[in-house]
Amino acid sequence: MTPILSLSSGSNFVEARKNDPRYKDVFTFIDSYDLPNVDLSPYIAITVPNLIDQEFMYKHRDIIRNFLNEGKVLSFSGHLFREWIPGASNFLPRTIRTHHDYEVSVVTAHPIFEGVRTEDLTFNKGVAGFFARGHHPAPAGAEILLSLPGGEPVVYIDRQSTKGTIFVHSGNDLFGYGNPAQTSWKIGHQLVAWIREEHQRLQQTREALQA
């Protein structure tokens, strides 16, 4: 299968994914600082985790935009504080008064979260807040998948800002959910499947426009 490029921030979370047998044949991992020197043409998508050097990503933001404009996919999980993702806004933390402020709700049903209980997103080992503690204001026309109690979007898909597709989640790496005791373990592979299907759709649209 055509590989998905995963940028490594050097954190333990990314190292764990590198060693996860579920993703052995899914990702090609590179150090994020090697991005400007890598030929991106073989890859259908780039995944970017939290703890990435966003000043570096901002400096090289045109690489991301150009990649997307080739009809490809970007997946980001984390808290943005620099404008390196087209159309995206900086992270806004939510004021928390009780654990109910962390409750995640489905706005639009989507294959990425099919079969995943919202309780398994809100809580991890009985503790709330791991999935999202705030949000990124979504760009106009974005598809909102999940939200916090005030309607703040914590997962959205943006097909408007570029000729590609941008998936943004305002929390920890979605590929890191691997506890089989919770339904959230399904997210990683379902996200990979969606990325592949989305890339195929984008390329079909691109070919039709060029015909």
Number of domains into which the chain is organized:
1
Range of the domain at 53: 4-210
Dist CA 61 CA 135 (whole Å) = 21
Beta-carbon contacts of 128 under 8 Å, excluding residues fewer than 6 positions away, are: 99, 102, 103, 122
Work out the percent of the chain whose per-residue pLDDT is above 90: 73
Write the pLDDT tens digit of every residue in 95-128. Answer: 888 888 899 999 999 999 999 999 999 987 777 7
Q: Is the pTM of this model over 0.85?
A: yes
CB 13 within 8 Å of CB 49: yes
CATH classification of the domain holding 28? 3.40.50
Beta-carbon contacts of 127 under 8 Å, excluding residues fewer than 6 positions away, are: none
Quickly count helices (H) and strands (E) in the chain.
Answer: 5, 12
